[in-house]
Amino acid sequence: MARLSLTSSARGIGIRSRVLFEFKLCICTEDPQEDGPKGDLLIEGRTEFSTMYTTESSIQNRRLYGDKFSLDVKFAALINAVQAFVDVEILRAPDCGLNLNLYAKTSGYEDVIPLYQGVAEAGCKISSVVAVVIRSCVYLRIEGTPKDDGLSQKRLPCGAWEDSFDTCYHGIVDKVVNLDEFTMISVKITWRTLD
């Protein structure tokens, strides 16, 4: 079974009782032609969920059907939530680059939301949005290791940081995180409600 994560920000705002999902999943091909398709189409379709009305926040699983395949999705339906805009900037990183993982958990649920997984360098900025139930918190975890450049046998130490942030209706929280002596990361959370 393959597990694919949606890129941030994948969210619905102010949903009343129905949700329309449109999806298109392609397999990227190496060196696609300029005038040709960018990848092979795996699944495409749309579906409507009409039983979304709930009075309590929950994690839900649904199946989306396409022409040839189906796609199972897992999502959170959060009641009375605010938006946490998570902005991460790499202020200082090893010269070879940084293998960076940024994860979140929301509203007391144990499900991990991958916000970023990849290579980052100094100056790189990453932005994500996480919905959080009011009077709850968002939990962030950053893991980083120097990118293996293939030149040295010795690996530099790994670094990790984690913290939780209580919700508010409006406001900004700034932190500067040192994973090790080579790596400094700025974390900013901006809380916003819907207009």
Joined together, the tokens standing for residue 67 give 């022409």
Task: Judge whether residue 148 has pLDDT over 80.
Answer: no
∠43-44-46 over CA atoms, to 5°?
135
| Cα 78 from Cα 183, distance rounded (Å) | 35
For residue 180, what is the enclosing H or E element?
Answer: strand 171-180
Average pLDDT across the chain, whole number: 80
CA–CA gap between residue 148 and residue 95 (Å, rounded)? 11
Asked if the model's pLDDT at residue 185 lies above 70, the reply is yes
pLDDT of 164 above 60: yes
- Dihedral angle at the C-alpha atoms of 165, 62, 126, 14, nearest 10 degrees? -70
Residue showing tokens 């913290």:
163
Residue showing tokens 């974390």: 187
Residues with Cβ within 8 Å of 51's Cβ and at least 6 positions away in sequence, in order, are: none
Which pLDDT score is estimated for 174? 94
Question: pTM of this prediction?
Answer: 0.76
Give the Cα separation of 123 and 121 in Å (integer): 6
Other CB atoms within 10 Å distance of the CB of residue 111: 12
Half-sphere exposure of 140 (CA within 13 A, CB side): 25
Q: Does residue 1 have a pLDDT over 50? A: no
Per-residue pLDDT at 138: 93
Kindly report, residue by residue over 34-86, the tens digit of the pLDDT.
Answer: 665 566 777 777 777 776 666 788 888 888 777 777 778 788 888 888 999 99
CB 116 within 8 A of CB 99: no
Mean pLDDT to the nearest integer, 24-33: 69
Q: What is the mean pLDDT of residues 151-166?
A: 72
pLDDT on residue 150 = 55
Which domains does the chain carry?
19-77 (no CATH), 81-192 (2.60.40)
- Among the residue ranges 38-47, 155-164, 170-179, the one predicted with the least confidence is 38-47
How many other CB atoms sit within 10 Å of the CB of residue 19?
16
